A and B are shown apart, each in its own frame.
Chain A
Amino acid sequence: EAGVTQSPTHLIKTRGQQATLRCSPISGHTSVYWYQQALGLGLQFLLWYDEGEERNRGNFPPRFSGRQFPNYSSELNVNALELEDSALYLCASSLARMMQYFGPGTRLTVT
């Protein structure tokens, strides 16, 4: 069984640009979660999508947004990038609100 996949592995952007990160959940999982792991700030919850709808949102500005597609894959968009957005972005998926399984992450660097 394939795990959660994320792309790209690394992403380098300049301040003010937009970044798009992608996540494919484990087959059969309907919930997708996004977390940010920034240096010194630990792992913080960003967004939760279930059945195509945004269900919960962490304490992040509106320039962090996303969506979930009919095949349950998900995109995270970060607009107007700032230097402090540099972080490892982790996606997780779960079935029926049980254990969350994490992908390998996308490392975003903003210069």
Chain B
Amino acid sequence: GIQVEQSPPDLILQEGANSTLRCNFSDSVNNLQWFHQNPWGQLINLFYIPSGTKQNGRLSATTVATERYSLLYISSSQTTDSGVYFCAVELQGGSEKLVFGKGTKLTVNP
């Protein structure tokens, strides 16, 4: 099956720093989503980005489908950005299920 690899697994930053999270996937995809999981477990949608670049405030994401990777940029990080960031993909062929990476655990210190 499709492999989804996220890096780095852990990231510790000082407030105000910028960071880049990476997601590599092994096959062509219909859909790619980035999520932030809050301390209570809820997955918060960040981006639906099967290709191209999108921005939302301090966050932006780029997916290069032909090279099978996606990047999530966090600028001027805040302590509230702490948590686990997941990349999830849906394989081409209409299987509909999202396959998740193992996540990047981000800790932003004040």
Contact = CB atoms under 8 A, between A and B. Distances in A.
Interface of A: 31, 33, 35, 37, 42-45, 48, 50, 55-56, 58, 88, 90, 92, 97-105, 107
Contact of B33 (A55, A97, A99): A99
Say which size band chain B's interface belongs to: 20 to 34
B34 to A, nearest CB: 11
B98 A45 contact: yes
A48 B96 contact: yes
Which 10 residue pairs of A and B lie closest in terms of their CB atoms, listed nearest first?
Answer: A45-B97, A43-B100, A102-B43, A99-B48, A104-B42, A105-B41, A88-B41, A48-B96, A42-B102, A56-B96
Contacts of A31: 96
Given A42-B103, A100-B33, A102-B35, A33 B97 contact: yes
Interface string B18-56: 000000000000010101000011110100100000000
